[in-house]
Amino acid sequence: MSNINQTNVPISQLEPAAILSRLTTAYDELSPELKKAAGYVIDNPNDVGVSSIREISEAASVTPNTFVRLAKSIGFEGYEDLRSPFREQLRTGSINFTDRARWLQSLSHEGHLGPLYADMVKAAIDNIEQTFSNISVEALTQAGDDIWNSRQVFTLGVGVHNANASNFTYLARTGMVQFQTIPSAGGTAIDELAWANEQDVLIAITCAPFREEVVTAVKVAREQGLTIVAISDSASAPIMRIADHAFLVADETPQFFPSSVATIALLETLLSFVIARADEKIIDRVEAFHKRRHQLGIYHND
């Protein structure tokens, strides 16, 4: 095979796209069996990262050794070396949720959950570090001041971010009454913003793929004069471009869904800035709130 093994990049560092390009270039020179294997990889690249050599050979109707020979034909030591970049692409989250779920299942089937544990922990730490490395004290202070000085604070999230928004509101309401999560059960965000105006704040959360109802609600809130605090994993998100305060969060994870670790950490930090800028009455309110809980027997007492 003429030039298929020539590259300026070490074979171990090739990206999946470069491997597919090699296979495409070499295709006409391959034997019939290798063509079947190569064609399957070219047409189903995500399967490479989630399937064992036995599974992928059955799917391609060739022997497992055919995939070993295919890998060697384009410069790899074996199939596992060819497979590794595709698995890394799955791990780092650059493909869709369904394929990442399949990858997680493949780890379990192969008994390789130790690396998954390490990857999850590393991703959580990295997400927090990356998020806060791009957020200044000044930005949090300004957002905290606007929230504290507002009449009402609406926290908007749908899907997994509804739980994140609700947790923020729950914590805030232990000392303040102007917070509410939208949409409420049976409601819509734009309806619940109907009477909001420039005295109010909307905290909106959406990550790619962006939820249409959140984007629409933020646009409506902008037209009504609310102060917008936007939280997203993309600086180009529609809500970030029109926000008064925009906070970028990292949400990469080996899992099939985006991580909420950094989003929760940011919301808790933002709330701490609100409380830090509040007047001293908030201390009495928090104390009274928890005292009432004890009096009503909410906490277990042996």
pLDDT 10s digits, 231-277: 999 998 999 999 999 999 999 877 767 899 999 999 999 999 998 87
Q: Which two tokens stand for residue 45?
A: 């690249």
Q: Torsion-angle region of residue 110: left (phi > 0), alpha (psi -120 to 50) or beta?
A: alpha
256 in the same domain as 207: yes
182 in the same domain as 45: no
| Residues 154 and 201 sit within 8 Å (Cβ to Cβ) | yes
Q: How many CB atoms sit inside 10 A of residue 115's CB? A: 11
Lowest mean per-residue pLDDT among 45-49, 101-105, 225-229: 101-105
The number of distinct structural domains making up the chain is 2
254 in the same domain as 154: yes
CA–CA distance, 54 with 45 (Å, rounded to integer) = 16
Higher pLDDT, 137 or 15: 137
131 in the same domain as 89: no
Report the candidate in 264, 266, 194, 182 with the shortest Cα–Cα distance to residue 223.
Answer: 194
Question: Could you tell me if residue 219 is inside a domain?
Answer: yes
143 in the same domain as 87: no
132 in the same domain as 231: yes
Mean pLDDT over 283-297 rounds to: 70
88 in the same domain as 130: no
Which alpha helices (DSSP H) does the chain contain, by range? 16-26, 32-43, 45-50, 53-60, 64-73, 79-91, 97-109, 113-133, 137-148, 160-172, 189-192, 212-223, 238-241, 261-277, 281-295
Mean pLDDT over 199-218 rounds to: 96
173 in the same domain as 76: no
181 in the same domain as 77: no
Q: Tell whether the model's pLDDT for residue 151 goes beyond 80.
A: yes
Q: Tell whether the model's pLDDT for residue 96 goes beyond 90.
A: no
CATH number of the domain encompassing residue 83: 1.10.10.10
134 in the same domain as 90: no
Structural domain that includes position 47? 11-96
204 in the same domain as 80: no
CATH number of the domain encompassing residue 177: 3.40.50.10490
176 in the same domain as 40: no
